[in-house]
Amino acid sequence: MSSIDLKRIGDTQKKPAVVDVRSGDTVRVTQKIKEGEKFRLQVFEGVVIRTDRKDSHTARITVRKVASGVGVEKSFLLHSPLVEKVEIIRRAKVRRKNLSFLRERSGKSARLTNKPFDRIAVNDLTPKEAVEESKSEETKEAAEQVLEAEAKDPETIAESQNPKGPAEPAE
């Protein structure tokens, strides 16, 4: 196989849906933890201080929080089967990808400036193409219903579109 063939194979594979996580985001990561024979879900909430290989299957984020005065950092593979959900809570204005300077800061100096964002739209995992297709299918179905109704009785459709009632002849 040539390199072109390998590239085509890689393009056809679908990547699992993951939210668009950036450095500076405050996220809530839900992870599966295995204890003996059972699995439980554990939530880790903190600030993303690093993103690696964002568009790859090996995409990784490093999340930091301060628990009982001690800084705790955890690294997550975004496409791992153990990571159940990544939810963005807050988005901050940052100018770099690696925020390691936050490790030396505490208190107010460790705060990041929030910026407004649409939390529902960011955390929605449905692809935009699927949303557009469903909208177009709904509009097609509605148009077909109107055409069928007009074919059956065109006068009732004209009356329903004119709220004042049937048009009176002008004198």
Q: Of 64 and 156, which is predicted with more confidence? A: 64
- Range list of β-strands (E), 53-165: 60-67, 70-77, 83-90
Mean pLDDT of 137-142: 70
Mean pLDDT of 14-34: 81
pLDDT in tens, 104-115: 877 778 778 778
In the chain, where the domains are located? 18-125, 129-161
Q: Of 55 and 16, which is predicted with more confidence? A: 55
Single pTM value for the model: 0.61
Q: With respect to CATH, is domain 18-125 assigned 3.90.550.10?
A: no
Mapped onto helix, strand or coil, the DSSP state of residue 158 is helix
* CA–CA dist 158, 134 (Å, integer): 28
> What is the model's pLDDT at position 109?
81
Q: Of 53 and 158, which is predicted with more confidence? A: 53
> Looking at the predicted structure, is the pLDDT value of residue 154 above 60?
no
Name which of 41, 48, 42 is nearest 20 in CA terms.
Answer: 48
Q: Of 170 and 14, which is predicted with more confidence? A: 170
Q: Helices marked H in 13-57 — which ranges?
A: none
> What is the model's pLDDT at position 43?
92
Q: Of 33 and 129, which is predicted with more confidence? A: 33
> Residues 6 or more apart from 29 whose CB is under 8 A from it?
43, 44, 45, 63, 74, 76, 83, 85, 86, 87
Name which of 82, 90, 93, 104 is nearest 33 in CA terms.
Answer: 82
> Residues 6 or more apart from 59 whose CB is under 8 A from it?
18, 51, 52, 53, 77, 78, 79
Q: Of 45 and 149, which is predicted with more confidence? A: 45
